[in-house]
Chain A
Amino acid sequence: MELTEKHREYWRKNLVITAILLVVWFIATFVEGWYARDLNNVTFLGFPLGFYMSAQGSLIIYVVIIGIYARYMNKLDREYDVHEGEDD
């Protein structure tokens, strides 16, 4: 089995989206956590922002990251013709 240039491009695109989403994850987790004390000086929806992010905001970001990844990759599979046939 030899991989074509198209296959390599599919994998590169996969790596790029993975890297981008990982950066977002890192910011929502560790950067947010590091500055939680400062973020608490801002009020959001009646919450101190640092508390809000750790209790809810970052969690929503995680759900969205996974949703975007699944959508993007499932589309990419079809574009690059590496999708599975027997599935709806």
Chain B
Amino acid sequence: MATVTSNRAFNAQLKKYYSIYTGGFIAFVIALAVAEQVGMSRAWIGYWFLFATIALYATIGIMSRTVDAAEYYVAGRRVPAFFNGMATGADWMSAASFIGMAGTLYLAGFDGLAFVMGWTGGYVLVALFLAPYLRKFGQFTIPDFLGARYGGNIVRSIGIFAAILCSFTYVVAQIYGVGIITSKFTGLEFGVGVFVGLAGILVCSFLGGMRAVTWTQVAQYIILIIAYLTPVVWLGVKHTGIPVPQVAYGPVLQKVGDLEKKITADPKEVEARGLAKAAASEAAAALKDPVKAATERRAALEQRLAKAKADNAPDHVQKSIQQALSNTPTDPAKAQEYWSARRNLGANANPPRKHADPYPGANEQARSTARLNFLGIVFCMMFGTAALPHILMRYYTTPSVRQARTSVFWSLFFIFLLYFTAPCLAVLAKYDVYSNLVGSKFAELPAWAAAWRLVDPALLTITDLNFDGIVQLAEIAIGGDIIVLATPEIAGLPYVVSGLVAAGGLAAALSTADGLLLTIANALSHDLYYKMLDPHASTARRVTVSKILLLVVAIVAAWVTSYKPGNILFLVGAAFSIAASGFFPALVLGVFWKRANKWGAIVGMLVGLGVCLYYMSVTYPFFRDLWGVTAPVASYQWFGINAISAGVFGVPAGLLTIFIVSLLTPEPERQVQELVEHVRYPNLAGDIDTRAT
């Protein structure tokens, strides 16, 4: 058969091209490494990585430009399972996974693993409940499925609303990541960085839609996985002696445990923890009048210095006090920043948490609430994974149901490579900090720490609280993102690897942003414009409308991002909870329960979304301030579950409502039941055809 041979030839051709591409990229990195040795400056290495990779994505985008609807919306449905797996991997792993994950694990220890489990286990639900059936259905978007399965524009509209709500929340987090990476590694301003990155996103999705996005994402996956693994393997060899540290870091984890015990008991550390607590509460009070407080602190330090001199205190003590004195600014803006940074020391008032210990807490009740919240996050991330439109859409692009199933396997395999490395990186970095940084002299800090504490106080602040000239753990305030960013330097690798990591982070953020923007633009152009407003629009017109909308959405998203809307992890978590509550029940019951009907779906989706949004709005500080909710959070919380896991209530509420309302209203028409049978079998004799063109 002609299609079989052409599919095979296409697959072989892709393998050849991407092998050459991978080799070329490695050669490019080696060439830059050589250039660094002969004196290329760091800024130039940064520029090369930034602009060469964006130019590469743009080239793929331009080569894949198209005006054909099936090519534009689902890449012509001929993406082989293996490559769709890589594209899904890049689509999936965002800036939060690439840069933030290892840092979250460093700070939160075991409890951070909720994200690792949730963001991988969700693919089991995608594989078992959705991917093959959506592929058989074979249209363009997720609202397409809801519209066909439940009939009528109301369900489709709710689908459009939910798709835009969760994708937009998520895309803002990505563009934010793009801005941070470009500004950090090239010295461009945050706002400029956002727009440079945005240009990279747009050349790709704008010209070629899903087709361009797919082939760019494969290229981006290759870069991001090389960038993530290289420094970890190096660091692993340093600490475990094996180039596969993921299987061998158990003993390192034990050593971290021993160091935790030592640090907890060390009298110097106990003293520093007390001082950290005092410094934090002093800073909190000082923020009311930063300049006055700074002046007072300077006076106190001067007195102390005079006393040290009179007592003939050791040299390093005098130096430390002098250092503290010169670090205390009286300039209003700087004083504000200074006290804010010191307030963060409050986190060091307690002994270090035991890295491998699940659900720590003061008493049994606190521990059990921590466990519930852990499982709640796992639940929401999993069900959200199985409901995020930009991921589900990817399974429309394979040539067959069979390949859609295999493709979920490859997707998770490629995602797994990064997600089982992140916990390892967190442990290796922690071991390095606890054994090398802690206990070193302030005058002779490890090179990476000396460099990064100058870059950004939010990422790394080290303050000699007890003036002994030695670093205690309680004197270090660390921001999670530094773990991935500084790993190459911790491992003692040349700067070119740092550039590589930045390129990887950029690839992660760009690829996810591409997929999300396309989802939003398609929901508006295909579902709203074509299916609801103008069903007679020509193919070319539909694609053009989609391109224009893409541009508008991208600019709006960048504009919202420029306001720096805080906590990225919450934004991402919220997107998952919303997607899970809005989509999961209607999608899954749509396939597995013929009796589910239009009214069940309408009420069920609204109730699921409503419960989720209500719960967030009364338990998340940002919204509470917005509505002026003053009663304590605990009085609104159910079972002590945090706002990020609102989907824990939204999903069951949605499922239950669809069930009850469907049974109370007439069963769906014969035609709809035939559609359900149709999606359940990859191929039926005398089958109906639902594929869109």
A and B bound? Answer: yes
Binding site for B on A (CB under 8 A): 1, 3, 7, 10-11, 14, 18, 21-22, 25, 28-30, 33-34, 36-37, 40, 44-48, 50-52, 54-56, 58-60, 62-63, 65-67, 69-70, 73-74, 77, 82-88
Contacts of B400 in A (CB 8 A): 84, 86-87
Task: For the A-B complex with A30-B375, A47-B250, A65-B127 known, give 4 more contacts whose Cβ atoms are closer than 8 Å.
Answer: A1-B674, A1-B678, A3-B677, A54-B358
Contacts of B378 in A (CB 8 A): 29-30, 33
A70 touches B1 (CB 8 A): no
Cβ distance A44 to chain B, nearest Cβ, rounded Å: 8
Chain B residue with the shortest CB-CB distance to A46? B250
Interface of A, helix, strand, loop or mixed by DSSP: helix
| Known interface pairs A54-B117, A87-B402; A21-B124 also in contact (CB < 8 Å) | yes
Contact of B211 with A by CB under 8 A = no
Cβ distance A17 to chain B, nearest Cβ, rounded Å: 9
0 or 1 for each of B401-428: is its CB under 8 Å from A? (1 = yes): 1110110110011001001100110000
Contacts of A47 in B (CB 8 A): 250, 253, 356
A86 touches B4 (CB 8 A): yes
Contact of B665 with A by CB under 8 A = no
| Known interface pairs A46-B254, A82-B684, A84-B682; A1-B677 also in contact (CB < 8 Å) | yes
Cβ distance A68 to chain B, nearest Cβ, rounded Å: 9
Q: How far is the CA of A82 from the CA of B254 in the complex (A)?
A: 53
Q: Which of B668-689 contact A (CB under 8 A)?
A: 674, 677-678, 680-688
A46 touches B251 (CB 8 A): yes
Cβ distance B418 to chain A, nearest Cβ, rounded Å: 11
Chain A residue with the shortest CB-CB distance to B132? A73
Contacts of B683 in A (CB 8 A): 77, 82-85
B405 touches A73 (CB 8 A): yes
Chain A residue with the shortest CB-CB distance to B685? A1
Contact of B399 with A by CB under 8 A = yes
A67 touches B117 (CB 8 A): no
Cβ distance A53 to chain B, nearest Cβ, rounded Å: 9
B358 touches A37 (CB 8 A): yes
| Known interface pairs A47-B253, A54-B113; A70-B121 also in contact (CB < 8 Å) | no
Q: What number of B residues sit within 8 Å (CB to CB) of A? A: 63
Contact of B268 with A by CB under 8 A = no
Q: How far is the CA of A33 from the CA of B118 in the complex (A)?
A: 11
Chain B residue with the shortest CB-CB distance to A76? B682
Contacts of A58 in B (CB 8 A): 117, 120-121
A36 touches B682 (CB 8 A): no
Q: How far is the CA of A18 from the CA of B127 in the complex (A)?
A: 10
B128 touches A22 (CB 8 A): yes
Most buried by B among A11, A52, A86: A86
Q: How far is the CA of A51 from the CA of B399 in the complex (A)?
A: 39
Contacts of A67 in B (CB 8 A): 409
Binding site for A on B (CB under 8 A): 1, 3-4, 7-8, 110, 113, 116-117, 120-121, 123-125, 127-129, 132, 246-248, 250-251, 253-254, 356-359, 371, 374-375, 378-379, 382, 399-403, 405-406, 408-409, 412-413, 416, 419-420, 423-424, 674, 677-678, 680-688
A74 touches B110 (CB 8 A): no
A74 touches B406 (CB 8 A): yes
Q: List 16 A-B contacts (CB under 8 A).
A: A1-B677, A11-B681, A14-B680, A22-B124, A25-B121, A30-B379, A33-B375, A36-B110, A36-B358, A37-B359, A51-B113, A54-B113, A59-B121, A62-B120, A62-B416, A87-B400
B684 touches A1 (CB 8 A): yes
Contacts of A63 in B (CB 8 A): 409, 412-413, 416
Q: How far is the CA of A68 from the CA of B5 in the complex (A)?
A: 27
| Known interface pairs A25-B124, A62-B123; A1-B686 also in contact (CB < 8 Å) | yes
B128 touches A69 (CB 8 A): yes
Q: How far is the CA of A11 from the CA of B684 in the complex (A)?
A: 13
Cβ distance A60 to chain B, nearest Cβ, rounded Å: 8
B419 touches A59 (CB 8 A): yes
Q: How far is the CA of A44 from the CA of B674 in the complex (A)?
A: 51
A87 touches B399 (CB 8 A): yes
A10 touches which of B110, B113, B681 (Cβ 8 Å): B681
Contacts of A62 in B (CB 8 A): 120-121, 123-124, 412, 416
Most buried by A among B129, B402, B677: B402
| Known interface pairs A30-B375, A45-B250, A66-B124; A55-B113 also in contact (CB < 8 Å) | yes
Cβ distance A50 to chain B, nearest Cβ, rounded Å: 6
| Known interface pairs A46-B251, A74-B402; A59-B409 also in contact (CB < 8 Å) | no
Cβ distance B360 to chain A, nearest Cβ, rounded Å: 10
Contacts of A29 in B (CB 8 A): 117, 121, 378, 382
Contacts of A65 in B (CB 8 A): 124, 127
B374 touches A33 (CB 8 A): yes
Most buried by B among A21, A25, A62, A73: A62
B684 touches A83 (CB 8 A): no
